[in-house]
């Protein structure tokens, strides 16, 4: 039933934002940031459980832990970038949002270089 709590927080903050935009629109972005932070902390324990499960599965499958950590970092970057892009768009700054999105994508590609190089080395070994 955690999803009900998350939806409740989201809807309550939405109502507060709609009311604030009529009287004090400059405070609406703060409520949006607070809502995002609160929801993140509500799901943080779930994220730690997922990471633990993935580490357990990776050790059973003899997957290199470095690759797992890279994939977790990529996922974290994607989530944080999406959150930042949403905040920028909520603030009416779509130009900054697109730059943040591009920066996140570049960081993801940069972090994934070891996986890409390992994949290419494996392909080269397979090919005659």
pTM: 0.77
Higher-confidence residue of 108 and 53: namely: 108
Which pLDDT does position 59 carry in this prediction?
84
How sure is the predictor about 85, in pLDDT bands with cuts at 50, 70 and 90?
very high
Alpha helix (H) residue ranges in 1-128: 2-23, 28-60, 65-90, 94-111, 113-126
pLDDT for the residue 112? 94
Q: Domain segments of the chain: what residues?
A: 64-128
Answer whether residue 128 shows pLDDT above 80.
no
Q: Determine the Cα–Cα distance for residues 3 and 74; give it in Å rounded to an integer.
A: 24
CB distance 79 to 87 below 8 Å: no
Instruction: Give the C-alpha separation, 72 to 77, whole Å.
Output: 9
């Amino acid at each position: 039933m955690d999803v009900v709590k998350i939806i409740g927080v989201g809807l309550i903050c939405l109502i507060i934002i709609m009311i604030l935009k009529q009287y004090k629109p400059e405070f609406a972005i703060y409520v949006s940031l607070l809502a995002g932070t609160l929801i993140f902390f509500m799901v943080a324990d779930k994220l730690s459980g997922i990471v633990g499960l993935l580490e357990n599965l990776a050790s059973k499958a003899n997957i290199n832990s470095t690759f797992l950590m890279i994939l977790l970092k990529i996922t974290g970057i994607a989530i944080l970038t999406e959150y930042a892009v949403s905040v920028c768009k909520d603030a009416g700054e779509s130009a900054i949002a697109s730059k943040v999105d591009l920066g996140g994508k570049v960081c993801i590609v940069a972090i994934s270089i070891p996986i890409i190089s390992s994949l290419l080395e494996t392909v080269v070994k397979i090919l005659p």
